Homo-oligomer: A and B are copies of this chain.
Amino acid sequence: MYVILVYDIGEKRVGKMLKLCRKYLNWIQNSVFEGEISDVKLKELTIHAEKMMKEEDSLIIFSGRSEKWMDKQIIGKEKSSVDNFL
């Protein structure tokens, strides 16, 4: 399935959350990720995320059967694909 994931996390936990999400998805903006992922892997990701989140944190996951239903338009600075290898 295709997902878009966005988080709003306390500064102290941002690094850990970033690292977790990058294990499963492509990083496309500061706190935004997208990619193809299986149900099982997504469940795994959300379980790990929930464990590190505090009360004021928020994580939204949009999911669809396929990327083809969504168009993506990027205005301004685009994350270099090199980021995927950092």
Are A64's CB and B58's CB within 8 A?
Answer: no
B53 touches A61 (CB 8 A): no
Q: A60 contacts B32, CB within 8 Å?
A: yes
> How far apart sit A77 and B78, CA to CA, in the bound complex (Å)?
28
Residues in B whose Cβ lies below 8 Å from that of A28: 60
Interface residues of A in 27-77 (CB under 8 A from B): 28-32, 46, 49-50, 53, 55-65, 69-77
Measured between beta carbons, the chain B residues less than 8 angstroms from A64 are 64, 69-71
From B4, B8, B31, B56, A4 is in contact (CB under 8 Å) with B4
Interface residues of A (CB under 8 A from B): 4, 6, 8, 28-32, 46, 49-50, 53, 55-65, 69-79
